[in-house]
Amino acid sequence: MTVGEFSPTQPVILGFDPGRDKCGVAVMGLDRRLFYHEVVPSQEAITVILGLLQKFPISLLVMGDQTTAKSWKKKLQEEMPERFSIVLVDERYSTLEARERYWQMFPPKGLTKILPKGMRNPPRPIDDIVAILLIERYLNRLSQ
């Protein structure tokens, strides 16, 4: 999902939430403008990332450091050697945080609006929002 207009002069960061079945992908500028986010099947993740490299001047990939991180990092480095640096970011509690962010980005409508926050479940996978949060965590770490 393309979000904002793109300025090719601005460097961007690729956020990547790797998983066995699906992966979250997001592209964000250093000014925290979101340009793209999507949940993709794991077997298509490399192809999607290669496509994003054609469209955006990505110089850094930020990805979660949990479950499948080591194998994905190795795979990315083999498929795209020297295309960008890869930085691992602590992804603890990111799913919980992404659930809350989902409702900020896409406010509930209809009956969902009256449900207490704790009972709302996003109607789709939120791995792309986790990828957004990983970029933000990286940028927050830089500014501290």
Taken in order of first residue, the domains within the chain and their CATH numbers are 12-139 (3.30.420.140)
Can you give the pTM of this predicted structure?
Answer: 0.89
**Residue 26 Cα distances to 7, 13, 82, 84, angstroms:** 16, 8, 20, 15
The arithmetic mean of pLDDT across residues 106-130, rounded, is: 88
pLDDT band at 1 (very low <50, low <70, confident <90, very high): low
What gap in Å lies between CA 96 and CA 101, rounded to an integer?
Answer: 9
**Terminus-to-terminus CA distance in the chain, angstroms?**
31
Per-residue model confidence as pLDDT tens digits over 64-90: 888 788 889 888 888 886 778 899 999
38 and 57 Cβ atoms separated by less than 8 Å: no
Q: pLDDT, tens digit, for every residue of 45-71?
A: 999 999 999 999 998 999 988 878 888
Instruction: Say if residue 20's pLDDT is above 80.
Output: yes
Instruction: Provide the pLDDT confidence category of residue 5 given band limits of 50, 70 and 90.
Output: low
Span 13-35, average pLDDT: 94
